[in-house]
Chains A and B, each alone.
Chain A
Amino acid sequence: NAGVTQTPKFQVLKTGQSMTLQCAQDMNHEYMSWYRQDPGMGLRLIHYSVGAGITDQGEVPNGYNVSRSTTEDFPLRLLSAAPSQTSVYFCASSYSGRVRTEAFFGQGTRLTVV
């Protein structure tokens, strides 16, 4: 019963490097999303997807790309990492629409950009 799985748990990048944060869910949820959490703050929405092939921007999308080729996976790409992207990243999934929309979160990826 894995739920939402994120990899890696920790990552250090140099400025300008690229990387992909992986997120997978096994609950057959239509909706998946990425949030970032900066020190002392709540989470903010980066990008979200309402189903395979459909993605949209959240509150803080700049510097990040996403795609959704399957229901299960929703990777987040940093094309050219910047120190301002140092944060903890959380992936979440839920059923879509107006039914029960309870979100379940992964364990987070702690990213440091030096």
Chain B
Amino acid sequence: GIQVEQSPPDLILQEGANSTLRCNFSDSVNNLQWFHQNPWGQLINLFYIPSGTKQNGRLSATTVATERYSLLYISSSQTTDSGVYFCAVGGVIKAAGNKLTFGGGTRVLVKP
């Protein structure tokens, strides 16, 4: 199956700093999503981005499908950005896009 690797595993930021999280995957994908798991355990959809670039407020994401990686940018970080960020991908064969493989996550702590 598809392998998903996220880096770095841990990130400590000062409030206001910018950061980049990376997701590498081992095969072609039909689905790529970024999630934020907040300290209460809830999974929040950030981006559905199998290719291209999207922005939502202080967050943006880019997926370069041909090179099999995606980047999540956090600008002007806030303490509420703390939590774990997951990248999840789904393959290209029929209905495989729905079967998500998760990376191990990047744990982000934003200090005031």
Given contact pairs A88-B41, A102-B48, A97 touches B102 in the complex (Cβ within 8 A) = no
Interface residues of A toward B: which range? 20 to 34
Complex Cα distance, B98 from A102, in Å, reads 8
Shortest distance from the beta carbon of A101 to any chain B beta carbon, whole Å: 4
In contact, A102 and B104 (Cβ under 8 angstroms) = no
User: Chain B, 68-112, contact with A by CB distance < 8 Å: what is the 0/1 string?
Assistant: 000000000000000000101010001101111111110000000
In contact, B104 and A41 (Cβ under 8 angstroms) = yes
In contact, B45 and A98 (Cβ under 8 angstroms) = no
Please provide the chain A residues from 82 to 109 with a CB less than 8 Å away from any CB of chain B in the complex. Answer: 88, 90, 92, 94, 96-98, 100-105, 107-108
Which of A41, A50, A96, A103 has the most chain B CB within a 10 Å cutoff? A103
Q: With an 8 A cutoff between CB atoms, is A48 at the interface?
A: yes
User: Chain B, 6-39, contact with A by CB distance < 8 Å: what is the 0/1 string?
Assistant: 0000000000000000000000001101010000
Given contacts A41-B105, A97-B94, 14 further A-B contacts (CB under 8 A): A31-B95, A42-B4, A43-B88, A48-B99, A50-B98, A88-B41, A97-B95, A101-B98, A102-B31, A103-B31, A103-B100, A104-B45, A105-B43, A107-B42
